[in-house]
Amino acid sequence: MIALANNLHKVPLLRELLLEENEVSDEGVLALANNLHHSTSLLCLNLIRNKISDAGCQGLTVAVSKMSSLQKLLLGENYVGDTGCMAMASVLGSLTALKELDLGSNRISHDACRVSLSCVFSSSVLVVWDSGNLLDCEKEALQ
Protein backbone atom coordinates (compact mmCIF):
# COMPACT_ATOMS: atom_id res chain seq x y z
CA MET A 1 0.00 0.00 0.00
CA ILE A 2 2.82 2.39 0.81
CA ALA A 3 4.34 1.85 -2.64
CA LEU A 4 0.98 2.64 -4.24
CA ALA A 5 0.54 5.73 -2.07
CA ASN A 6 4.03 6.97 -2.91
CA ASN A 7 3.30 6.66 -6.63
CA LEU A 8 -0.02 8.49 -6.79
CA HIS A 9 1.78 11.50 -8.24
CA LYS A 10 2.31 9.46 -11.43
CA VAL A 11 -1.45 9.28 -12.09
CA PRO A 12 -2.81 12.78 -11.40
CA LEU A 13 -5.92 12.14 -13.51
CA LEU A 14 -6.96 9.06 -11.51
CA ARG A 15 -10.75 9.09 -11.13
CA GLU A 16 -11.39 5.99 -9.02
CA LEU A 17 -9.25 4.26 -6.43
CA LEU A 18 -10.93 0.96 -5.59
CA LEU A 19 -9.13 -0.74 -2.72
CA GLU A 20 -11.96 -2.77 -1.20
CA GLU A 21 -10.79 -5.67 0.96
CA ASN A 22 -7.04 -5.14 0.54
CA GLU A 23 -5.96 -5.04 4.20
CA VAL A 24 -4.93 -1.41 3.83
CA SER A 25 -4.95 -0.84 7.63
CA ASP A 26 -4.26 2.45 9.42
CA GLU A 27 -0.64 2.55 8.29
CA GLY A 28 -1.62 2.20 4.66
CA VAL A 29 -4.48 4.68 4.80
CA LEU A 30 -2.22 7.26 6.48
CA ALA A 31 0.36 6.80 3.70
CA LEU A 32 -2.45 7.16 1.19
CA ALA A 33 -3.76 10.27 2.95
CA ASN A 34 -0.32 11.88 2.79
CA ASN A 35 -0.31 11.48 -1.00
CA LEU A 36 -3.91 12.10 -2.00
CA HIS A 37 -3.18 15.74 -2.80
CA HIS A 38 -1.72 14.45 -6.10
CA SER A 39 -5.10 12.99 -7.07
CA THR A 40 -7.04 16.16 -7.77
CA SER A 41 -9.45 14.39 -10.16
CA LEU A 42 -10.37 11.56 -7.79
CA LEU A 43 -14.14 11.00 -7.75
CA CYS A 44 -14.40 7.74 -5.78
CA LEU A 45 -12.28 6.30 -2.98
CA ASN A 46 -13.35 2.82 -1.92
CA LEU A 47 -11.76 1.58 1.30
CA ILE A 48 -14.44 -0.90 2.38
CA ARG A 49 -13.23 -3.80 4.58
CA ASN A 50 -9.67 -2.63 5.19
CA LYS A 51 -9.19 -2.74 8.98
CA ILE A 52 -9.19 1.06 9.27
CA SER A 53 -9.75 2.42 12.79
CA ASP A 54 -10.34 5.90 14.20
CA ALA A 55 -6.67 6.85 13.74
CA GLY A 56 -6.73 6.01 10.05
CA CYS A 57 -10.08 7.69 9.55
CA GLN A 58 -8.90 10.87 11.26
CA GLY A 59 -5.80 11.05 9.05
CA LEU A 60 -7.90 10.41 5.98
CA THR A 61 -10.34 13.13 7.01
CA VAL A 62 -7.62 15.77 6.85
CA ALA A 63 -6.70 14.68 3.32
CA VAL A 64 -10.21 14.36 1.90
CA SER A 65 -11.30 17.69 3.33
CA LYS A 66 -9.15 19.28 0.61
CA MET A 67 -10.39 17.09 -2.25
CA SER A 68 -12.86 19.26 -4.11
CA SER A 69 -13.83 16.65 -6.71
CA LEU A 70 -14.45 13.63 -4.42
CA GLN A 71 -18.01 12.34 -4.83
CA LYS A 72 -17.94 8.95 -3.06
CA LEU A 73 -16.01 7.96 0.04
CA LEU A 74 -16.67 4.37 1.04
CA LEU A 75 -15.41 3.36 4.49
CA GLY A 76 -17.92 0.66 5.42
CA GLU A 77 -17.06 -2.53 7.30
CA ASN A 78 -13.94 -1.18 9.01
CA TYR A 79 -13.19 -0.45 12.67
CA VAL A 80 -14.14 3.23 12.64
CA GLY A 81 -15.62 4.34 15.96
CA ASP A 82 -17.09 7.52 17.37
CA THR A 83 -13.90 9.59 17.05
CA GLY A 84 -13.47 8.79 13.36
CA CYS A 85 -17.16 9.35 12.68
CA MET A 86 -17.14 12.75 14.37
CA ALA A 87 -13.97 13.77 12.53
CA MET A 88 -15.53 12.86 9.19
CA ALA A 89 -18.80 14.60 10.06
CA SER A 90 -16.90 17.78 10.94
CA VAL A 91 -15.60 18.20 7.37
CA LEU A 92 -18.80 17.41 5.46
CA GLY A 93 -19.36 21.10 4.82
CA SER A 94 -16.05 21.44 2.97
CA LEU A 95 -16.68 18.42 0.76
CA THR A 96 -18.83 20.25 -1.77
CA ALA A 97 -18.85 17.50 -4.42
CA LEU A 98 -19.35 14.59 -2.00
CA LYS A 99 -22.62 12.77 -2.60
CA GLU A 100 -22.09 9.54 -0.66
CA LEU A 101 -20.21 8.69 2.52
CA ASP A 102 -20.44 5.05 3.60
CA LEU A 103 -19.71 4.44 7.29
CA GLY A 104 -21.92 1.36 7.58
CA SER A 105 -20.94 -1.66 9.68
CA ASN A 106 -18.31 0.12 11.72
CA ARG A 107 -18.11 0.67 15.50
CA ILE A 108 -20.07 3.90 15.69
CA SER A 109 -22.29 4.34 18.72
CA HIS A 110 -25.88 5.50 18.65
CA ASP A 111 -24.87 8.78 20.33
CA ALA A 112 -22.17 9.60 17.76
CA CYS A 113 -24.58 8.75 14.98
CA ARG A 114 -27.19 11.12 16.45
CA VAL A 115 -24.73 14.00 16.93
CA SER A 116 -23.35 13.56 13.42
CA LEU A 117 -26.81 13.85 11.90
CA SER A 118 -26.80 17.62 12.41
CA CYS A 119 -23.87 17.82 9.98
CA VAL A 120 -25.58 15.48 7.54
CA PHE A 121 -28.87 17.35 7.53
CA SER A 122 -27.04 20.60 6.75
CA SER A 123 -25.35 19.05 3.70
CA SER A 124 -26.53 17.17 0.64
CA VAL A 125 -24.46 14.07 1.42
CA LEU A 126 -26.04 10.63 1.69
CA VAL A 127 -24.43 8.97 4.68
CA VAL A 128 -24.79 5.22 5.06
CA TRP A 129 -24.65 3.91 8.62
CA ASP A 130 -25.91 0.57 9.90
CA SER A 131 -29.56 0.68 8.92
CA GLY A 132 -30.80 0.25 12.49
CA ASN A 133 -28.68 3.11 13.81
CA LEU A 134 -29.62 5.38 10.93
CA LEU A 135 -33.33 4.78 11.39
CA ASP A 136 -33.18 5.33 15.16
CA CYS A 137 -31.06 8.47 14.76
CA GLU A 138 -33.27 9.91 12.04
CA LYS A 139 -36.38 9.41 14.19
CA GLU A 140 -34.76 11.23 17.13
CA ALA A 141 -33.42 14.07 15.00
CA LEU A 142 -36.79 14.66 13.38
CA GLN A 143 -38.63 14.88 16.72
| Distance of alpha carbon 23 from the chain centroid | 16
Structural domains of the chain ordered from first start: 2-142 (3.80.10.10)
pLDDT at 137 over 80: no
What's the rounded mean pLDDT across residues 73-102?
Answer: 90
CA distances from 38 to 3, 33, 35, 52, 67 (A): 14, 10, 6, 22, 10
pLDDT tens string 17-69: 999 999 999 999 999 999 999 898 999 999 999 999 999 999 999 999 999 99
Could you tell me if 86 and 58 are in contact, meaning their C-beta atoms sit under 8 angstroms apart? no
Q: Can you give the pLDDT at residue 131? A: 47
Q: How many CA atoms lie within 13 A of 28 on its CB side?
A: 14
pLDDT at 126 over 80: no
